[in-house]
């Protein structure tokens, strides 16, 4: 009885881990498309933000659910905490440096697109 319960928990953990990995892959692809197709530095930061939060968070959650050992899980949690702390700081620094060095954001929603 307890053995059946453990097998069920293991299968559910693997299914949830694979689902999180696939959703994270989808988020990474969407963020990369945004990084390629959007028109401005400040708009492209949305794509980078999708990769940094949604993609990295979901892929690391999937690996955390699929981890075979608790030391591996601790290391994945360490990487996740590090990415959560550092990547918004880096994106904020890029936006601040771009703003202070005179890169103007696209503010109007007209049909004409400014290149750069």
Partner 1 sequence: MTLTLWFGVTLASIGVSIIIAILRASLGPTAFDRVLAVNTIGTLVVLSICVYGFFDGRPEFLDIAVLYALINFIGTIAILKFFRHGTLGDHLPPEDKHHG
What does the angle CA 45 – CA 51 – CA 52 come to, to the nearest 5 degrees? 85
From 1, 5, 36, 107, residue interacting with partner 1 (rule: CB under 8 A)? 36
From 7, 12, 14, 105, residue interacting with partner 1 (rule: CB under 8 A)? 14
> Measured between alpha carbons, how far is 61 from 76 in angstroms, rounded to an integer?
8
Contact between 27 and 54 under an 8 Å Cβ cutoff? The reply is yes
CA distances from 101 to 41, 113, 115 (A): 13, 21, 17
Residues that bind partner 1 (CB under 8 A): 14, 18, 21-22, 24-26, 28-29, 31-33, 35-36, 41, 44-45, 47-48, 51-52, 55-56, 59-60, 62-63, 66-69, 72, 75-76, 78-79, 82-83, 86-87, 89-91, 93-94, 97-98, 100-101, 103, 115-116
């Amino acid at each position: 009885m307890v053995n059946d319960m453990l097998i069920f928990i293991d299968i559910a953990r693997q299914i949830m881990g694979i689902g999180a990995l696939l959703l994270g892959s989808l988020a990474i692809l969407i963020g990369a498309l945004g990084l390629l197709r959007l028109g401005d530095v400040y708009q492209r930061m949305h794509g980078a933000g999708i990769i940094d939060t949604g993609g990295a968070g979901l892929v690391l959650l999937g690996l955390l659910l699929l981890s075979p050992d608790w030391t591996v899980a601790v290391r994945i949690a360490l990487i996740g905490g590090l990415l959560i702390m550092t990547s918004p700081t880096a994106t904020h620094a890029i936006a601040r440096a771009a703003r202070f060095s005179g890169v103007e954001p696209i503010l109007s929603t007209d049909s004409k697109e400014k290149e750069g």
